[in-house]
Amino acid sequence: MKICCIGAGYVGGPTMAMIALKAPDIEVRVVDMNAARIAAWCSDTLPIYEPGLDEVVKKTRGKNLHFSTDVKGGIEAADIVFVAVNTPTKSYGVGAGRAADLRFIESVARTIAECARGPKIIVEKSTIPVKTAETIKDILAANGRGIAFQVLSNPEFLAEGTAVADLINPDRVLIGGERTPEGEAAMAKLVEVYARWVPLDRIITTNLWSSELSKLVANAFLAQRISSINSISALCEATGADVDEVANAIGRDSRIGPKFLKASVGFGGSCFQKDILNLVYLCDHFGIPEVAAYWEAVVKMNDWQKRRFTAKIVRALYNSVADKKIAVLGFAFKKDTNDTRESPAISVCRDLIAEQARVSIYDPKVPAEEIRRDVLGKDAASPLLSVAADAYEAATGAHALAITTEWDEFKALDFERIFGLMSKPAFIFDGRNILDLKKLRAIGFRVSGTGK
Ligand code: NAD
Ligand code: UGA
């Protein structure tokens, strides 16, 4: 069996590396039009940072895993073509700011239609609006050569930072297809791929639309939990309740469960906001504005939480941060990834710079250039933004320090020393509240000396 995956990003790269690892008899080719990205996949410095990924790629690359810019060649040779291209929020025209921009999906479908010489199974791996398979089928059917295609939906549920563990041991694999003999046969073929390492009872098959929609709904439910606890964090601050204690108390109810109840600066990442906005757009499109408004509130709460965090810093610093140095620790949208897409740290830094603060940022994995581009825009510069070589440099002379990404290495910093380096009175925020050294120690940070 030969598999080709179009899109060598955060999803295409790791998922295909895992298939190659678990199915040595399958030849897997990952293709992308971004030559620099493909070159990085072929080098010792992979384009994405994911714990455990280097080992998986090292074991398979050059054997049954190949990376290439030859998109057409990859499609032609494959029995199964995965589509893992980006599906960002549309920034122009009808549906701007909400609908998914499907131009990359459409362009891939046209390329497949143009260069396929025999029947193929096309697998939607990208997150897309429900009914996208219909568009893909239409474009493929117009190829004029009478080639039979089956379109399946196989959304990806991995989270960045834990992608390898999620792929090795997924809660479930979801495969949607047409309930026809040809559709069932295509689904069975894809089940056969995952069944090499995923127990059959964790492989769910559904109709196409259920599978497409389930992906959006899964992300909406996860993000909703974060917005729910973040909304409660504001009430906790007003009343003296502790949001971690409340989260623990409610999470012990097995009907609620403990996961995704960590109050934060707000959720980030390339998908939660984009997928909820996509869901909102779909609801409006199908004439159910009440449902659209319900889900939109999850994103509005997240925006408010991010603004509220900056406002908290400004308030603590006597209502002005102008010309004060603020250290920001962590810039990736979560720990163990170099991905900064929609990172809450971006909004926080922009808001602080708008208040004329001098922001000094440190992140263990995000390059300085990327940080500057994300905060200021391409080719822009500002004397108010600097990137520090380490956390101690960022903290030196700072009036406040905000931990915006919970990298494990920050827990090993000596906060007594950090505190000593800062301008007094110094304020340390953990992405939510002001913490003194005692509280920092209580929540697992290292504080040498007396901790006073
Ligand atoms: P990404 O931007 O990292 O990668 C997409 C890649 O597709 C890019 O390298 C781009 O060059 C390539 N591409 C686009 N059009 C192409 C074309 N016509 N031909 C060849 N290559 C093309 O995106 P990602 O984070 O991997 O996400 C991909 C999809 O998976 C999105 O729909 C996303 O919502 C979904 N998803 C992402 C995650 C995640 O953790 N990032 C998890 C689950 C699902
Ligand atoms: C999320 C989902 O968890 C994946 O299942 C899904 O496949 C993926 O989106 C996607 O479709 O792209 P990801 O965004 O990589 O994965 O990471 P998460 O662990 O979900 O974290 C997202 C954001 O929420 C981060 O900014 C994180 O800090 C924040 N978060 C998470 C909280 O603020 N509190 C929590 O309790 C959990």
Look-up: residue for tokens 């059917």?
141
Instruction: Quickly list H helices, 317-414.
Output: 344-354, 368-376, 391-395, 408-411
Q: Residues 220-231: what's their mean pLDDT?
A: 98
> Which entry of 236, 271, 283, 349 is annotated as an active-site residue?
271
Residue type, 395: A
pLDDT at res. 235: 98
54: Cβ contacts below 8 Å, ≥ 6 apart: 46
Task: From the CA of 337, give the closest atom in ligand 2.
Answer: 15
Q: Residues 147-159: what's their mean pLDDT?
A: 97
pLDDT at res. 146: 87
Q: How many Cβ atoms are within 10 Å of 252's Cβ, its own excluded?
A: 10
Q: Is the CB of 104 under 6 A from ligand 1?
A: yes
294 alpha carbon – ligand 2 mean position (Å): 20
3-state SS record for 381-408: CCCCEEECCCHHHHHCCCCEEEECCCCH
Known catalytic residue: 271?
yes
* The pair of three-digit structure tokens given for residue 410, joined into one six-digit string: 């920050």
Q: Dihedral of the CA atoms 156, 115, 187, 127 (nearest 10)?
A: 20
pLDDT value at 367 more than 70: yes
pLDDT at res. 360: 98
pLDDT value at 451 more than 50: no
* The pair of three-digit structure tokens given for residue 178, joined into one six-digit string: 């047409």
Residue type, 37: R
pLDDT value at 152 more than 50: yes
195 alpha carbon – ligand 1 mean position (Å): 24
Identify whether 425 is preceded by a cis peptide bond (ω within 30 of 0): yes
Q: How far apart are CA 427 and CA 316, in angstroms?
A: 8
Q: C-alpha 400: how far from its chain's center?
A: 28
Comparing 316 with 432, the larger pLDDT belongs to: 316
Q: What is the pLDDT of residues 265-308, one digit of tens each?
A: 999 999 999 999 999 999 999 999 999 999 999 999 999 999 99
Q: What is the pLDDT of residues 375-420, one digit of tens each?
A: 999 988 999 999 999 999 999 999 999 999 999 999 999 999 999 9
At CA 381, angle to CA 304 and CA 309, rounded to 5?
Answer: 20
Distances (CA, A) of 441 to 99, 243, 427, 444: 44, 18, 15, 5
Q: C-alpha 388: how far from its chain's center?
A: 25
**Which DSSP string do the residues of 36-98 spell out, in sequence order?**
HHHHHHTSSS-SS--TTHHHHHHHHBTTTEEEES-HHHHHHH-SEEEE----PBP-SSTTTTT
Q: Residues 240-250: what's their mean pLDDT?
A: 97
pLDDT at res. 14: 98
Q: What is the pLDDT of residues 37-56, one digit of tens each?
A: 999 999 999 999 999 999 99
pLDDT at res. 449: 67
What's the first-to-final CA gap in the chain, in angstroms? 64
Give nearest CA residue, ligand 1 atom 44. 156
Q: Is the CB of 445 under 6 A from ligand 2?
A: no
Cβ(100)–Cβ(90) below 8 Å = yes
Q: How far apart are CA 23 and CA 8, in angstroms?
A: 19
2 alpha carbon – ligand 1 mean position (Å): 21
Give nearest CA residue, ligand 1 atom 37. 11
Residue type, 14: P
Q: What backbone torsions phi and psi does residue 45 show, to the nearest 5 degrees?
A: -110, 100
The percentage of the chain sitting over the pLDDT mark of 70, rounded to a whole number, equals 99
pLDDT at res. 131: 93
pLDDT at res. 56: 98
Q: How far apart are CA 152 and CA 124, in angstroms?
A: 6
State the pLDDT confidence band at 436, using cuts at 50, 70 and 90: confident
The residues facing 361 across adjacent strands are 328, 387
Cβ(295)–Cβ(369) below 8 Å = no
Give nearest CA residue, ligand 2 atom 19. 159
Residue type, 216: L
Q: Is the CB of 11 under 6 A from ligand 2?
A: no
Cβ(313)–Cβ(352) below 8 Å = yes
Task: From the CA of 270, give the closest atom in ligand 1.
Answer: 41
219: Cβ contacts below 8 Å, ≥ 6 apart: 127, 271, 272, 275, 276
Q: C-alpha 358: how far from its chain's center?
A: 28
Cβ(158)–Cβ(167) below 8 Å = yes
Q: Residues 249-276: what's their mean pLDDT?
A: 98
pLDDT value at 427 more than 80: yes
Q: Is the CB of 32 under 6 A from ligand 1?
A: yes
**Which DSSP string do the residues of 6-19 spell out, in sequence order?**
E--STTHHHHHHHH
pLDDT value at 452 more than 60: no
pTM of this prediction exceeds 0.85: yes
Q: Residues 55-82: what's their mean pLDDT?
A: 98
269: Cβ contacts below 8 Å, ≥ 6 apart: 160, 333, 334, 339, 341, 342, 343
pLDDT value at 349 more than 70: yes
pLDDT at res. 110: 96
pLDDT at res. 284: 97
Cβ(280)–Cβ(98) below 8 Å = yes
Ligand minimally distant from the alpha carbon of residue 154: 1
